[in-house]
Amino acid sequence: MQDQRRHPRIRTFFGGVITFNKRCSTINCTVRNLSETGARLHLADTGTLPNTFDLIIRARDIDTPARVVWRSDTEAGVTFES
């Protein structure tokens, strides 16, 4: 099956921080792949993950609003809302 994404994703292993509640609440995550428009995040549990949040990836100097487009028990796909 061929990937239909407009922007190619690269495999990564970056630490990320999900911030919400006016940046008073945080969840650590691992960014498993990344593109110009989104990412796949791995975290302990997506049950407490809000639908919208800010994502910080210090290794790439990224601090952007994000929105969940899919989720499983431990992973979530997000699109950047810049």
Whether the model clears a pTM of 0.75, i.e. scores above it, the answer is yes
Closest C-alpha among 48, 39, 37, 35 to residue 16: 39
**Torsion 81-66-24-63 (CA) sign:** negative
- List the one residue out of 44, 48, 47, 37 whose CA is nearest residue 77: 37
Which pLDDT tens digit goes with each residue over 13-66? Answer: 999 999 999 999 999 999 999 999 999 999 999 999 999 999 999 999 999 999
Alpha carbons 25 and 69: distance in angstroms, whole number: 21
Contact predicate 19/25, CB 8 Å: yes
Q: Domain 10-80, what fold? A: Thrombin, subunit H (2.40.10)
Listed by start position, the domains of the chain span: 10-80
Q: How far is CA 49 from the centre of its chain?
A: 11
> Band of the pLDDT at 1, cuts 50, 70, 90?
very low
